Structure 1
């Protein structure tokens, strides 16, 4: 009888220990919640690659700065400049947009001047250290009244095997406007190229009926496209989205703003069906981000991301770890 009681107590003790372990695991899972959500996702399809973020620092006269990340949330400074401004009249390099071509070459375009320019800067690289000769691409030289060429954005169209470059320009008295001055009433234009030597004729990309800048093309899994854009009208100056069946549009169904007032410069990455949209909240004097799965509902994740001080409008690509190691060595030299 004593043996049976001891055996019963032992069995009950084991059951309680197992229940305690299960309950503790449940509590840990609940406590991590949304905070661990991005950690469980594979940040980059190839584990041998990391994210690279192009950037500039005000007043934009120094050139290209870089940051890298393993998960798309925590960004480490790689210092700079890696390329100093070499074209344009204003000696600036703003809004550097980079896309990796099918041969592994990184192509970059950027804003060269606040006012007076009829084109943008271009250079290419394999590793962000050695660069091609800088060129000025005069995509608006056929418009003598053009005020500016702002924030050129690169997109590689896999289906068409071509690069699409979009940018914002103002041509006074060309379009209807609201409260904006005639020299601040932007529309988006585009060219295409396969080799950055020959370009298509410049065409209007989108006229949404209001001043628009800082547009980014995003391809979704269901083979349609999203345009993340800044409504640059005086009452708005925030970010919205529109939808199209082709990378060149037409883009329709423009949304209500998903960011606050005084935000611009979006760039987007996709992680397992979730899209992270990074942007410059210049009204709040910070770099910010939201997350979405459908471009209809947006979740604030600004408190989950970390950026180097002074990080500004750029784009995200991926590099292998060999390039990253070389950039880290270069960053140590630049920091001295």
Structure 2
């Protein structure tokens, strides 16, 4: 049975927190007595939306959001298997060369078995007309799209380009391999920040190669308003967890085929925000 490691931040402490599940992904218990295992040391000094994944060196790589209006993302590499020690943090200026780029939110990466490269994905607003300082990032939805770059070694990166644009604002994309295809969950960012909104929910699509073409979206999966979807395997099923960010709680659904979903049981630490889950062999 794999060990599941959950990474997350909290509103009180925008740092890397970890929780572990040893019962097959049903209950996650915080480590380090709930205190952060890593604090931000570059850029804005915060680590929002922390994501963990296995890199080409076999070590665990972390990506994180560098605040509300930074065009860079934070990167660090685990030094030990217990995730207690990390390399020096560095800023990856993924959107620095894109005119009018204001932010780079919720970075993740996935391995493309068709090319042998890793795809970094994140959400960005590109608008030269209105500066970042004039935006209410926390309360008003912005015109985000999903952007991407690729790397083989996490040292050099291709130029950023649009990865997914369905013709309306989207954020928080997460991609997993599902057989010979890829499964992507993302948040439809239209609507307003109210639980009765017509959007602000999770949609799904599939594709054979990064960049598309993409199948017509399916969903919504779960209610409104939710964000930060994460997909992981639990036995023969997919599990998706998501953040009820207006209500301060988490939800979960499960599916045997990635298309039909029903409520699932997942216990998570209190107060978590934008969690990701990495399954590791024992």
Displacement of 1:320: 5.7
Match of 1:229 among 168, 178, 186: 186
SS of the aligned residue for 1:314 comes to strand
Q: State yes or no: 1:288 paired with 2:251.
A: yes
Matched, 1:121 2:68: no
**Whole-Å Cα distance in 2 between the matches of residues 254 and 296 of structure 1?**
10
Find 1:92's aligned residue among 37, 40, 46: 46
In structure 1, what is the equivalent of residue 195 of structure 2? Answer: none
Please, which of 56, 59, 66 is the counterpart of residue 112 of structure 1?
66
**For the residues of structure 2 that align with 1:173 and 1:259, how far apart are their CA atoms?**
35
**Alignment-derived partner of residue 133 in structure 2:** none
**Separation of aligned partners in 1, 2:13 and 2:172:** 17
The structure carrying a bigger strand percent of its residues is 2
In structure 2, the partner of 1:10 is none
Residue 153 of structure 1 deviates from its aligned partner by 1.1
More helix by share: 1
Is residue 241 of structure 2 the alignment partner of residue 278 of structure 1?
A: yes
Partner of 2:277: 316
User: Which of the numbers 276, 290, 306 marks the counterpart of 2:267?
Assistant: 306
Is residue 2:35 matched to residue 1:80?
Answer: yes
* Aligned pairs for 1:48-59 within 5 A: 49-59=2-12
User: Which has the larger Rg?
Assistant: 1
Alignment gaps of 5+ in structure 2:
130-135, 192-197
Partner of 1:214: 172
Task: Quote the RMSD (CA, aligned, Å).
Answer: 2.1
Residue 87 (structure 2) aligned to one of 119, 132, 135: 132
Query: What corresponds to 2:225 in structure 1?
Result: 262
After superposition, residues 236-247 of structure 1 pair within 5 angstroms as: 236-247=199-210
Alignment partner, residue 152 of structure 1: 107
C-alpha change, 1:102 and 1:138, in structure 2 (3 Å) is: closer
Query: Paired residues, what number?
Result: 263
Runs of 4+ in 1 over 4 A off after TM superposition: 180-183
2:125 matches 1:170: yes
- Contact 2:56–2:152 (Cα < 8 Å) also in 1: no
Deviation at 1:283, TM superposition (A): 3.0
2:274 match: secondary structure: coil
Q: Is the 8 A contact 1:108 1:123 kept in 2?
A: yes
Where 1:184 maps in the other structure, the secondary structure is: coil
